[in-house]
Structure 1
Amino acid sequence: MKRILVTGANGQLGSELNLLSKKHSEYEWIFADRTKITLDDLDLLETQLKEIQPNIIFNCGAYTAVDKAESEKELAFRINCLAVKIIARYAVNNNINLIHISTDYVFDGNTSIALSEDAETNPINVYGASKRAGEIACLEENPNSIIIRTSWVYSKFGNNFVKTMQKLMQEKEEISVVNDQIGSPTYAVDLANVLIDILESKKWIPGIFNYSNEGEISWYEFALLIKELGMYKCNVKPIPTSAYQTQAKRPKFSLLSKERIKAIYNINIPDYKESLKKCLNS
């Protein structure tokens, strides 16, 4: 029986994989939180991997505090790049299939067409730079890796835009949401299913793939849909990014092209509206 190690077990994707694993008992699943796999303790990391002895690794663990990363650059790079390097090296040396999760924040957002996997990267914040460095380290150490870039991830677990909006819309009469950052949300359940689909396809094509739900929207439009489906009374007001200052800059446009993953793995990608409905119903 193949043993799958999932890092970042308590994150959104890790939590959804944990639920999904109940339907896939043909694998032995190891869900590793920060105590089992310490991505910030590089000396310990390889020892922990040797103890677990996985056949497959889903590296879902990451430093994801985008604004905080601006003042914690060393920690962000240690987790998002140096730890990835160790995992990738361990995977190649032990003939292990590795799927590593990355982000749309590797782009600067200065475009208006859907970004392919070959589009030029140019991160505009520390988090994005650390994730891009992780991608490079991953493929340099282990060219047989699969990297999946995703965007705007949400689920019923963890902290995310959908849960924040639900909370604010219940508490406040009016909220403001930026209307000039464009992309597409990703329901973590859909992404979890894609990881399983790749595994079960028995077809291992290394390299970078994009995945998010179908659709092109702004955060403001996403908030309006949450309001509509949740039947909230709160007034949602559009504002430009310039009116909502954050420590880290965000890419203005990070819509991902999913043509490659659809063509190679024959993946059917749900529309963001359908996925949001499923999430809210769960």
Structure 2
Amino acid sequence: MTILAFGRTGQVATELSYLPNVMCFGRDDADLTDPVACAKLVETHRPRAVINAAAYTNVDRAEVEEDIAHLVNAEAPKAIAQACADIDIPFVHISTDYVFDGSGHDPWPPDARPFPLNTYGRTKLSGENAISEVGGRYVILRTSWVFSPNGENFVKSMLRLGATRDELRIVADQVGGPTPARDIALACHTIAKELMVSPGKAGVYHLSGTPDCSRADFAREIFTIAQMPCDVEAILTCEFPTPADRPKNSRLDCGSLEQRFGISRPNWHSYLQAQLTEC
């Protein structure tokens, strides 16, 4: 069984590269700004399944590079989904909590109506809609606050900043579930294999780490485990303006993923402790 994965150096893609029978293609092999070439790659290799772990993820830069973000996050996934549907193989696509506006306090179920606040979220939602329209054996897996030892993420930013400062101001009104990239990769791998024999499980699902917490509390836990003497001052989102708006409520309801695929929410604290201990 061979699974083709788009992405090689990103957080989830790196974790996918460690799994058996997964071929990871980076930008040199599969440039998502060329959707036609990506589709041809699927047609040429004819794998048993495809996982898309590549995306345009610079949330703030997307505000001024919308065309590129749309090409990578919407047009390329559409072309890949069509290629997978044409040869009847599973397609697992990673999406984001940023498709929601972050209102309220309840976890977002997969069938909640999306309403993104920023360009990144809109392009990811466009990709979701395109995949759904193509149909076939697909799963869209939304996740949140991804972290790992690889790539750029909140944990690595806190470690870098905390090493040189006595105090950091971190937003406390953005709440979500930090999610280890390793668990996202394992989930995608499991889903792809399951779709080979159970195409009726196609659809949209959520996966995020547990327990939900604020950005400020996540930062405090990072500094505690890393034994860094850096204090955290809790602030509001409005006190830390960014080019792109962020959702305040990124809680995700992951119940259907566990019910249909047996995949539970990972405990981010355990993974974070292991990651920082290794460092």
TM-score tier by shorter-chain length is over 0.9
Q: Which residue of the partner structure matches residue 10 of structure 1?
A: 9
Q: How does 1:127-138 map to 2 (within 5 A)?
A: 127-138=120-131
Distance (Å, rounded) in 2 between the aligned partners of 1:11 and 1:263: 29
**Matched position secondary structure for 1:171:** coil
Partner Cα separation in structure 1 for residue 274 and residue 108 of structure 2:
27
5 Å-filtered alignment, 1:135-154, equals: 135-154=128-147
> What fraction of aligned residue pairs are identical, expressed as a percent?
34
**Is 2:84 the partner of 1:104?**
no
Q: Which runs of no fewer than 5 residues in structure 1 stay unpaired?
A: none
Which of 261, 265, 275 is equivalent to 2:271?
275
Note the C-alpha offset of 1:200.
4.5
- Displacement of 1:269 in angstroms is 2.4
Q: Distance in 2 between matches of 1:48 and 1:199?
A: 18
Aligned amino acid, residue 5 of structure 1:
L
Q: Distance in 1 between matches of 2:6 and 2:90?
A: 14
- 2:256 counterpart (245, 253, 260): 260
Q: Equivalent residue of 2:163, what SS?
A: helix
Task: Quote the offset at 1:270 in angstroms.
Answer: 2.5
C-alpha separation between the residues in 2 aligned to 1:109 and 1:169?
28
> Cα offset for 1:53?
2.5
Partner SS state of residue 5, structure 1: strand
Tell me the residue number matched to 1:86: 79
Q: How does 1:226-265 map to 2 (within 5 A)?
A: 226-265=222-261
1:47 alignment counterpart: 40
Name stretches of at least 5 consecutive residues in structure 2 with no aligned partner. Answer: none
TM normalised by structure 2 equals 0.95
Residue 174 of structure 1 corresponds to which residue in structure 2? 167
Q: Deviations over 1:230-264 (max 9, x none)?
A: 11001211111111111000001010011100111
Q: C-alpha separation between the residues in 1 aligned to 2:257 and 2:205?
A: 6
How many angstroms does 1:279 deviate by?
Answer: 2.3
**For this pair of structures, how many residues does the alignment match?**
275
| Contact 1:187-1:279 at 8 Å conserved across structures | no
Q: Over residues 194-224 of structure 1, what are the superposed CA-to-partner deviations in whole Å (9 max), with x where a residue is unaligned?
A: 1223244454410000001121211000000
Are the aligned partners of 2:85 and 2:134 in contact in 1 as well (CA < 8 Å)? Answer: yes
1:183 pairs with 2:176: yes
Aligned mates of 2:202, 2:134 — CA distance in 1: 13
The one-letter amino acid of 1:246's match is T
**2:31 is the counterpart of 1:32:** no
What is the distance in 2 between the residues matched to 1:199 and 1:93? 17
Q: Equivalent residue for 2:190?
A: 197
How far apart in 2 are the matches of 1:169 and 1:203? 47
Alignment partners' CA distance in 2, 1:139 and 1:224: 39
Q: Specify the alignment match of 1:218 in structure 2.
A: 214
Q: What is the CA–CA distance in structure 1 between the aligned matches of 2:223 and 2:198, rounded to whole Å?
A: 41
Read off the aligned partner of 2:44 and give its amino acid letter: E
TM-score (norm 1): 0.94
Amino acid at match of 1:226: I
